[in-house]
Amino acid sequence: MIIRRTLIVISAVIVAAGLTGCDGMNMNPFAKGDQVKQLTADLEAARGEAETAKKDAADAKKKLAAQQKRIDTLMALGPDRLKKLHYPTKLTLGQYTGGADLDAQPGDDGIKVYLRPIDANGDTIKSAGSVAIQMYDLALAPTKTLIGEYKWNTEQTAKSFTGGFMAYHYTFVCPWKPTPPANSEITIRVEFTDYLTGKTLTVQKLCKVDLPATER
């Protein structure tokens, strides 16, 4: 449509130029010169619009071709393609998950969580996803058991991964909010929402923390 409108504009400019030529003998020469300049400018603008429309049409055609290629690839994998991919089916917490001394002073300053997403083969994998961690002191009144909540989005979670010799896990540090708990036994609950499947997996652990002497 843009190209058609542009061609109409060009045709109109050409016709107008012809008509101007016919009446040229009766026109002020300065007015004729201004009109020619305007017609020339309109013609150049119309040509520019035509080139832009042509380029936009070519870009759109390329995008459609790329999208169709991706669709064809997914269709070739079949409806059971997720079964051929690696994604977490459960979570485990490292044995050192628990109280963490972050300032080299007596007493823990929070919780450190070592999280491992496990696939169907029992292997730890670096899976994209978001994480939410809650800390509970179940010795408190039912309405006050939640003593801390922490969240990481997909980008933040990716930066928390450690992969190497004897270390292949996500590490999350959860400082007290705002003071140490009243009791030394804390329940940690971790939620991992997998980016690929959209499923949320959970795991929890009861751990002991070292409270400062004034909090014992």
Name the pLDDT band for 80 (thresholds 50, 70, 90).
low
The angle subtended at Cα 32 by Cα 26 and Cα 36, nearest 5°, is 140
Other C-beta atoms closer than 10 Å to the C-beta of 147 total 19
Q: Tell me if the bond preceding 181 is cis, omega within 30° of 0.
A: no
Q: What is the pLDDT of residue 138?
A: 94
pLDDT surpassing 50 at residue 215: no
How many helices and strands (H and E) does the chain possess? Answer: 3, 9
The b/e string for 4-32 (b: 16+ C-beta within 10 A; e otherwise) is: eebeebbeebeeeeeeeeeeeeeeeeeeb
Residues of the chain with CATH 2.60.40.1940: 90-215
Name the pLDDT band for 82 (thresholds 50, 70, 90).
low
CATH architecture, range 90-215:
Sandwich (2.60)
Joined together, the tokens standing for residue 146 give 């939640």
Nearest in space to 120 (alpha carbons), one of 92, 89, 93, 83: 89
Q: What is the pLDDT of residue 214?
A: 53
Q: What is the pLDDT of residue 50?
A: 87
* pTM reported for the whole predicted model: 0.62
